[in-house]
Amino acid sequence: MLRAYKYCLVPNVKQSISLNKTMGCVRYYWNKQVESFNSYDKETNPVVSFKTSTEIRKENEWMQEVSAAAIQQKEIDFKEFKKQHFSNTRKKYIGRPSFKKRNDRQSFRLPNQKFSIIENKIRLEKIGKIKFIEDRPLPVNCKLMSITVSKDTCDKYYASILVETQIKQFEKTNKTIGIDVGIKEFATLSDGIVINNPHYFRDSQAELKKAQRRLSRKKKGSSRRKKCKLKVAKIHKKIANQRENFLHNVSTKIVKDYDVISIEDLNVAGMVKNHKLAKSISDVSFSKFFSMLDYKCKWYGKELVKIPRFTPSSKTCSGCGNVKKELKLSERTYHCDVCGHEMDRDLNASININCIGVEMLKRA
């Protein structure tokens, strides 16, 4: 199994300059490739040639100060992008590539031959040994695959180390569960457990609005604007960290307690287009939660079942199976017109999701 371990780096001034140089060279190479890709025109420029990383490094002497492996890895990434862009079998269309900006998140990747871990330091080629905060140890006897060094908008450096290791699976509980996600309550489980929505973005919205107002009044290019921009970035980072910590705790708990987990295959991208609910849907981050459930089930030997998108789980009575023709979003209690069964709307949907998921697993 492949697993990534992310650590916070503590570089000195010289190492920070070297890291920024490497990220700048990688960004420059990517932007050159994007420029060539977007220059295609059927009439004026029908044949587009892409220069290799070696050719671009020879043309620019300053690029030879950084590790060639970092630029080669970006070359591999761009080739993979082109392969996916022109793939006829890919379900989701990928648009044209975009240019990377200096003020956005920066990163570069190195293969396992170009870095090593020595006690509490990571040695990177042409940069040296950088201290890192080891908040959790790497698995014993794991195989190092690659390392991705990144810098976020708060000017903090991180190292994500990809390793190949054996993951100990959770014990079987012989329990099944259906999960109905929502905005009012984050999730309602079919056994009656309700997980409240923390509303992290809503709670920090007043502080964020104040910081953004101050940022808008500062002169562009000034040092005060940079300080205000950093403050806004830190608020966004805090919200993202809170949300990610919450999702990790909830997803791990569910995967540990249940063997079969059934969820709906929601069209989250389409749901976000509703301007009345977009902020609330983005705040709960359904896509990331489903993604965590997916890979954690594979890690720990559990089953994740996605029921079809248009299954009427909310309109179906969990008692008799009757399907209502109409069910308004404001109706929070489900009432069956046939058998008279009454139940909380979300709990009724989660029970139906669980039953459908178990049946799908049996037929598979």
180 is a catalytic site residue: yes
Residues 23 and 160 occupy one common structural domain: yes
Helix axes 13-38, 68-85, angle to 10 degrees: 30
pLDDT, tens only, 251-283: 999 999 999 999 999 888 888 888 888 888 889
Within-domain flag for 188: yes
User: Which position among 264, 331, 342, 344 bears the catalytic label?
Assistant: 264
Within-domain flag for 221: no
- Here the tokens at position 277 are 């609910």
Within-domain flag for 83: yes
Give φ, ψ of 270 to 5 degrees: -75, -35
Within-domain flag for 259: yes
User: Which position among 75, 259, 283, 346 bears the catalytic label?
Assistant: 346
Within-domain flag for 204: no
302: nearest Cα among 357, 354, 263, 255: 255
> How does DSSP classify residue 320?
T
Residues 29 and 109 occupy one common structural domain: yes
264 is a catalytic site residue: yes
Residues 6 and 86 occupy one common structural domain: yes
Residues 31 and 72 occupy one common structural domain: yes
pLDDT, tens only, 326-359: 888 888 898 988 888 889 999 999 999 999 999 9
Confidence of residue 190 (pLDDT cuts 50, 70, 90): very high
Residues 188 and 301 occupy one common structural domain: yes
Residues 139 and 183 occupy one common structural domain: no
Q: CA 160 to CA 6: how far, in whole Å?
A: 4
How many structural domains are present in the chain? 2
- Here the tokens at position 23 are 């990220």
**What is the residue range of 190's domain?**
176-196+254-363
35 is a catalytic site residue: no
Residues 12 and 46 occupy one common structural domain: yes
Residues 262 and 149 occupy one common structural domain: no
User: Which position among 75, 180, 259, 283 bears the catalytic label?
Assistant: 180
Q: CA 311 to CA 161: how far, in whole Å?
A: 40
Residues 148 and 182 occupy one common structural domain: no
Residues 64 and 14 occupy one common structural domain: yes
Confidence of residue 46 (pLDDT cuts 50, 70, 90): confident
Residues 181 and 155 occupy one common structural domain: no
Whole-prediction pTM = 0.89
Residues 7 and 145 occupy one common structural domain: yes
Residue 332: Cβ-neighbour burial (10 angstroms; 0-12, 13-18, 19+): exposed
Within-domain flag for 122: yes
